[in-house]
Structure 1
Amino acid sequence: MATDGTRDGLAVDGDRLRRRFDAFNEIGATDRGGVNRPALSDANARARDRLVEWLREAGLDVRIDEMGNVFGRRAGSEDAAPVLLGSHVDSQYNGGRFDGVVGVLGALEVVETLDDEGIETRRPIEVVAWSNEEGVRFQPDMLGSGVYTGRFDLDYAHDRTDKSGRRFGDELDRIGYRGDGPCVADDLHCYLELHVEQGPYLAERDLSVGVVEGVYGFSWLNARFTGAADHAGPTPMDRRTDALVATAEVILATRRLTATGGDDLVGTVGSVDVSPNAINVIPETVEFTLDVRSYDNAAVDEAVDRIEREIEWAGEREGADWAVEEIMRVDASTFDDDCVATIEAAAETVGVDHVRMVSGAGHDANYLNEICPTGMIFVPSEGGVSHTEAEYTEWTDVVGGVDVLLHATLSKARE
């Protein structure tokens, strides 16, 4: 587990970081110990305001681009390509306090520690908070980093709408975070992201740090069955075209085929919208989503093909019309060997128990990895719990992870 200090004496101020963390998570706090700060909400705006205030207090040059990505730059001795550090501060609805936040506030603590110690680096260091990483209000997820890296078009991103029909671009204007700067990737030396694991691997092995070698690829599908609404009482069972029955068959089939399709293949039906959604009416339409992931891109492709066939077969058995489309596809990412080795060496310097691993969750690092050398640091999620108010990481592990980020950043910023 985490140690009380690093082997060379250089360490972050864990008490200062904790004060910041606690103060930050008062914004959008829920009664059950989580936070509710979905992208471009009023609470998310207040969180952005607090972050910008702290970045400026730390002497960083703050800029905001037209996607609302927030950057704070610490100058280097040379005008070289910077080392970029960060994550996100938007949350799930009633999500956890650690997800994304430890990466942003940890990055700020890194630059403040370097200032405290009077350490100058050759390369500038930038702290970033990406917009709409979670994707719970505006889909797809990782929208800010996606536009920055060229994965998405700016107009496409600004036209995304939430369930109430509010446009992303309009909401940026409303909260005052449509910046003047273009959302175009800079010349970056590398990108490093600290994040909670969001799975059980580290906690189950009593390890403090994961040195992330890569991230699962995934496919998101949106599917729909259209049957016929009718009265639940007098309609005989053999005359029904029940869209929910067909959906249930696909849900069970997805569970079976992903459970047997590979060591790391996972599949989830996470959203189901039933209409007319009445107790005494046969469901006429059902729209639902599927999420399929693996570190093996071929396994994802094969699973998606099979699920699409299962949708077709279920529709034919029930006599329902069906449609399915892939709304998001991200290939598995293998991170830069040198960044991974630098993070591993930093973990040795800090003296934390660590392991190389891959991530089952997507992160902004996925897209940054397409344009520059990238690495990630994980700290444990107790019980493997994340995206809920029960999310928790021991504070000693948070500090240990930020210490690893500090040493990896210093190494890369001196190159």
Structure 2
Amino acid sequence: MPHNLGIRVASSRLASTFDESCSWGSTPDGGMNRLSLNNDDKRVREWLIEQCKQLGCSVKVDQMGNIFAIRPGKNNSIPPIGMGSHLDTQPAGGKYDGIVGVLSALEVLRTLHDNQVETYAPVALIDWTNEEGARFPPAMLSSGVWGGAFTLEHGHSRSDASGNTVKSELERIGFLGDVPCSYEANPLSAHFEIHIEQGPALEAENLRIGVVTGVQAMNWYNIVLRGREQHCGTTPMNMRADTLLCAAKMIQSINQQSLALPGARASVAVINSSPQSINTLSGRVQFNIGARASSDALLATLDVNLEKACKEVVEDSVRLDESIMGKSGEGGVKMEVWEKIWECPKTVFDERAVSMVRESAREVEGGRFKDMVSGAGHDSVYTARKVPTAMIFIRCKAGISHNPAEFSKQEDIDAGANVLLGALLRYDDYLKEKTAA
């Protein structure tokens, strides 16, 4: 029987911690704009480290800026049990995405400290750098380096729209650590993560807690189209190599392809065109596709269908242009780039770690929870490559996320933090029994 299962987090303290930490990056509409490695991210990182040191934690910062605040246990020869998520947000994000995971982990450390609980294994709070990928694509970048999905050189060289690299910004804000960013050099025994659901399923069933068993498969693509800059007022409608129009047709086809495959999703949420002039047809368009599916096989089918459908749109543009302009014409809109810039196979979380989340949810919520597969990627995707991993979802209003209206009730946040606390203690007892055996 796990020790200290009756202890609970302090709700009022957890609520005030949200108010305090979200003062860095808050926006007038109640949301958050705390892009990875900006000045507000620097300030909240410094605040987090100070809070953890007050609890007797030692703090390590690795070469990707990941923060590991470690509370010692009885047997410090074994790697710590990790509780991790992220503090960076989308440009027009909310106060809960990722943040709830780090602050709940902080409250778990405080609760252990208040109750003078000595765990068998050390326990680590982790703030993973650049989970969102909003400033430095791709998403989950630094947990990906730690988990071996990306090299350190790849991680350091990612740049934002202004050309600033991850490495240069880590140096600027003072978080380019010297601890190697890898599981082998800086291991964990397990990884647990709380996150808002970012969907409506829990609210629809009036449940606070979801036990996450895995994450669906995901691919990101970069597409660049090249047409002709032409005068909008003087060029006849039937004599245009209209790059934006071609992109619009492709986006519509992308939507149709995903609708045709149950369990698949594909979206275009980023599009850039040039020149930016109301009086000139764009000659160049760049956009990204985010594709997801319930299985690797289904995503592979979607991959083929998306590329085929988009190339057909381009070919139709070329045929139409040549029928009007002749073979001497420029041949309509061309696809200069079709590249897969990120791929993440389906993740299945460790059954033992998941079962401990279930047991904790049963204790905290009286069995009112559901097993779920995450539709979004999280840092736990990459920790699962190296260590037993599980996730906890909490209910969020209307499933809204990446939006200032993002909201979770305090009672739901409390429930998630208590489930995390129980799962952590159960895994700690498992490690103790395993070591003794």
- TM interval, shorter chain, is over 0.9
CA contact (8 A) 2:53 2:59 kept: yes
The answer to whether the aligner puts 1:344 opposite 2:358 as a matched pair is yes
Q: What residue number does 2:281 align with?
A: 282
From 358, 366, 375, give the equivalent of 2:390.
375
CA contact (8 A) 1:250 1:307 kept: no
> What per-residue deviation string (whole Å, max 9, x for no partner) do you get for residues 208-249 of structure 1?
000001101111010011011111122122221111111111
The answer to whether the aligner puts 1:190 opposite 2:205 as a matched pair is no
CA contact (8 A) 2:211 2:358 kept: yes
Displacement, 1:294? 1.3
- Separation (CA, whole Å) in 1 of partners of 2:403 and 2:21: 17
Q: What residue number does 1:132 align with?
A: 130
Displacement, 1:8? 5.5
CA contact (8 A) 1:245 1:318 kept: no
> What per-residue deviation string (whole Å, max 9, x for no partner) do you get for residues 380-413 of structure 1?
1110100111100011000000000000000101
Q: What residue number does 1:177 align with?
A: 175
Please show how residues 267-306 of structure 1 align to structure 2 within 5 Å: 267-306=266-305
The answer to whether the aligner puts 1:42 opposite 2:20 as a matched pair is no
Aligned residue identity for 1:330: C
The answer to whether the aligner puts 1:245 opposite 2:258 as a matched pair is no
CA contact (8 A) 2:5 2:425 kept: no
For the residue of structure 1 that corresponds to 2:308, the secondary structure is helix
Q: What residue number does 2:117 align with?
A: 119
Aligned residue identity for 2:340: E
> What per-residue deviation string (whole Å, max 9, x for no partner) do you get for residues 361-398 of structure 1?
00000000111110000001110100111100011000
Q: What residue number does 1:4 align with?
A: none
Q: What residue number does 1:65 align with?
A: 62
The answer to whether the aligner puts 1:360 opposite 2:375 as a matched pair is yes
Q: What residue number does 1:84 align with?
A: 82
For the residue of structure 2 that corresponds to 1:329, the secondary structure is strand
The answer to whether the aligner puts 1:388 opposite 2:391 as a matched pair is no
> What per-residue deviation string (whole Å, max 9, x for no partner) do you get for residues 265-293 of structure 1?
11100111111132221221111100110
From 19, 22, 28, give the equivalent of 1:22.
19
143-152 or 358-367, which moves further after superposition?
A: 143-152
Displacement, 1:351? 2.3
Aligned residue identity for 1:338: R
For the residue of structure 2 that corresponds to 1:20, the secondary structure is helix
- Separation (CA, whole Å) in 2 of partners of 1:56 and 1:208: 31
From 7, 10, 20, give the equivalent of 2:7.
10
From 6, 22, 29, give the equivalent of 1:32.
29
For the residue of structure 2 that corresponds to 1:406, the secondary structure is helix
The 1:177–1:8 alpha-carbon spacing in structure 2 relative to 1, beyond 3 Å, is closer
Q: What residue number does 1:3 align with?
A: none
Displacement, 1:188? 2.3
From 44, 50, 54, give the equivalent of 2:51.
54
Aligned residue identity for 1:335: F
RMSD over aligned Cα atoms: 1.2
Please show how residues 79-228 of structure 1 align to structure 2 within 5 Å: 79-185=77-183, 186-228=186-228
From 323, 329, 332, give the equivalent of 2:346.
332
For the residue of structure 2 that corresponds to 1:271, the secondary structure is strand
Aligned residue identity for 1:24: S
For the residue of structure 2 that corresponds to 1:388, the secondary structure is coil
Q: What residue number does 1:258 align with?
A: 258
- Separation (CA, whole Å) in 2 of partners of 1:38 and 1:66: 19
Q: What residue number does 2:321 align with?
A: none
Point out the structure with max Rg over C-alpha: 2
Displacement, 1:81? 2.5
Displacement, 1:121? 1.4
149-158 or 399-408, which moves further after superposition?
A: 149-158
For the residue of structure 1 that corresponds to 2:269, the secondary structure is coil
Q: What residue number does 1:231 align with?
A: 231
For the residue of structure 2 that corresponds to 1:269, the secondary structure is strand
Runs of 4+ in 1 over 4 A off after TM superposition: none
Q: What residue number does 2:307 align with?
A: 308
CA contact (8 A) 2:91 2:134 kept: yes
TM-score (norm 2): 0.91
**Percent of aligned positions that are identical:** 37
